[in-house]
Amino acid sequence: MKVLIVDDTNTDRVLLKLYLSKLDCVVIEAHDGQEAIDLFLEHGQDLDLILMDVTMPNVSGIEAVKAIRSIQESQKQEWLPVIFLSASSEEESIVEGILAGGDDYLIKPISQKILSVKMLAMQRIADMRRRLVETNLALERLASTDYLTGVASRRAFESALEQAMLHFREIHMPFACGMFDLDKFKAVNDTFGHDAGDEVLIKVVQCVRASLNDKVIIGRLGGEEFGVILENLNEADAFAAFDKVRKYIESHVTTFEGHDIPVTVSIGVAMFHSVENDNINTLIKRADQALYEAKRSGRNRVIYHARNMVH
Ligand SMILES: [Mg+2]
């Protein structure tokens, strides 16, 4: 553990340092509240614990902890345990310390035994908190990823569109949204089974990546419907890119249990026009209309949404 000791009394600091070194801790020291704040700003993310004397000249321990807690809050930092140290056992002093953001309170003189078990308790809470943060991150990943193909979920795809819209507004980067749907996919499931259908979906995603690039944002919007975001290109280039995807999928047949399963896709493409007249919903709707037109006019084609296209 890395511990910050804050105390204006030399002998107290020396004693604490001795105790902590026996517990294999790395120690840094501050002589007053202001130095504590400065060292926190410097080492904050690496620290595991702060031992803070209450009574110090200039900036007191209470004031220093208040400042540290507000920095942590504004920067959304992880919880860092703080134990106050004081010669005073008055109730008011303990209440004030906890209210200022302290997690525990030790009365001087401090015994090595009590200090070491208090640190154990703080470590336990820190571990629990870390596990909680990790679990939340894993859940977030799960919710933002399609379990079968590994592409973005619908929700994550929509927030990627929001991000693209931000780039459009801030640095005028144009972008296209392509929506594609596998042609007659139901027949694949009916003829070869759902496992084969899953294999085809995985293959199609691989084809999109192979024909564009690995970093392109793909989202699975429904059963066999996908969305793709292409940034930094004009209408003609967007159309060409999506036609490349279409051809690539057509010429790369999925093989499942000895059966060749050829599939094609219909693609609708729409460009984002302006922040004033367009939003994510209207963009998706226009790409959807173009996709519908691609299906209606014979499938296995890319249709670009012209501004005058109405359905
Ligand atoms: Mg003091």
| Ligand 1 center to 25 CA (angstroms) | 22
**pLDDT value at position 205?**
97
Q: What's the confidence (pLDDT) of residue 307?
A: 63
In angstroms, what is the span from residue 32 Cα to ligand 1's centroid? Answer: 9
End-to-end CA distance of the chain: 65
Tell me the percentage of the chain whose pLDDT exceeds 90: 79
Q: Ligand 1 centroid to 85 CA: how many Å? A: 9
Over range 110-119, report the average pLDDT.
92
pLDDT attached to residue 129: 83
pTM over 0.75: no
DSSP H or E run through 285? helix 280-296
Residue 293: how many other CB atoms lie within 10 Å: 18
- At 188-199, the pLDDT tens digits run 999 999 999 999
Strand runs labelled E in 123-220 = 175-182, 217-220
What are the pLDDT digits (tens) for 16-61? Answer: 999 999 988 999 999 999 999 999 999 988 899 999 999 999 999 9
**253 pLDDT above the threshold of 50:** yes
Cα 234 from Cα 88, distance rounded (Å):
71
Tens-digit pLDDT profile for residues 64-78: 999 999 999 998 888
Question: Is 99's pLDDT higher than 60?
Answer: yes
Q: What is the mean pLDDT of residues 179-205?
A: 96
> Beta strand pairing status for 225-231 and 175-182?
antiparallel
- Contact assessment for residue 50 and residue 43, using Cβ atoms and an 8 Å cutoff: no
Q: Do the domains 154-304 and 2-138 match in fold?
A: no
pLDDT at 311: 46
Residues in the chain: 311
Please give the pLDDT value at position 308: 57
How many CA atoms lie within 13 Å of 206's alpha carbon, on the beta-carbon side? 11
> Domain spanning 2-138 has what CATH number?
3.40.50.2300
Question: pLDDT band at residue 1, thresholds of 50, 70 and 90?
Answer: confident
Q: When comparing pLDDT for 214 and 249, which is higher? A: 249
- Give catalytic residue positions: 224
- Return the pLDDT at 259: 94
CA of 6 to the centre of ligand 1 (A): 9
Strands annotated E in 40-170? 49-53, 82-86, 104-107
What's the CA-to-centroid distance between 90 and ligand 1, angstroms? 15
pLDDT of residue 242: 97
Task: Determine the distance separating the centroid of ligand 1 and the alpha carbon of 36, expressed in angstroms.
Answer: 13
Q: Does position 310 have pLDDT exceeding 80, yes or no? A: no
CA 22 to centroid of ligand 1, rounded, Å: 23
**H/E run at residue 211:** helix 194-211
CATH code linked to domain 154-304: 3.30.70.270
> For the chain, what is the mean pLDDT?
92
Hey, where are the domains in the chain? 2-138, 154-304
- Tally Cβ neighbours within 10 Å of residue 150: 11
Query: Of 3-12, 67-76, 113-122, 273-282, which gets the smallest average pLDDT?
Result: 273-282
Distance 12 CA to ligand 1 centre (A): 9
What lies within 8 Å, CB to CB, of 123 at 6+ separation is 1, 48
Nearest to 182, CA basis, from 134, 97, 110, 246:
246
